[in-house]
Every structure is written in C-alpha cells, then in structure tokens.
Amino acid sequence: MPRLSEFFGIIISMYYNDHAPPHFHALYSGYEATMLIDTLEIYEGELPHRALAMVLEWAVNHRSELLRNWERARQGKQLKRIQPLE
C-alpha cells in the first residue's frame, strides 16, 4: 500500500486496486480509518479524536491531490507524495 504522507505518527495511504468510492486510508497507533475523499467522512474503521482532527485538517488542504492520486491509482500510475501536516 503506497504511502502518500506521514505526520505525527499518522500514515496516509492508498491502494492501487481499491474499490469505489474514492477514498484513502489513515493509520495511527493500531487504528485504521477509510476516509471518503469527497465528503471526508469515515467510511470504515475509526481513529482517536485527536488523530481524526489532524487527518481532517490535512485532507481539507489536499483534497484535489488525493483525487488526482485516486485517478493515478486507477490507471496504475505511480502515486505522488503529498506534503504532511505541519
């Protein structure tokens, strides 16, 4: 699973052959959440509140890059790294 970004112990990744709807995975300290790109809602799983707040802040700022990576993954192209939350 390619890593798109990492910050504060949170790993953001995306699978090449993943199912619709467009989403990404956020992993943190044994937790995992699948987040919808369009709405930034949790599709599956869970994250602690503080980690979720950071993922949401990051995703709001990088939604277009996430969508571009989703399209690249569907085409089997290399995914682009995304700036971490600072």
**Could you state, in order of their start, the residue ranges of all structural domains in the chain?**
3-74
Q: Which residues fall within 8 angstroms of residue 6, CB to CB, at 6 or more apart?
A: 12, 84
Q: Which residues fall within 8 angstroms of residue 50, CB to CB, at 6 or more apart?
A: none
How far is the C-alpha of 13 from the C-alpha of 25, rounded, in Å? 5
- Residue that is written with structure tokens 């199912």 in the block: 19
Which structure tokens are listed for 31?
Answer: 């937790």
Instruction: For 23-41, give the DSSP string.
Output: EEEEEETTEEEEEETTT--
pLDDT tens by residue, 33-72: 999 999 999 999 999 999 999 999 999 999 999 999 999 9
pLDDT of res. 11 = 98
Percent of the chain with pLDDT over 70: 100
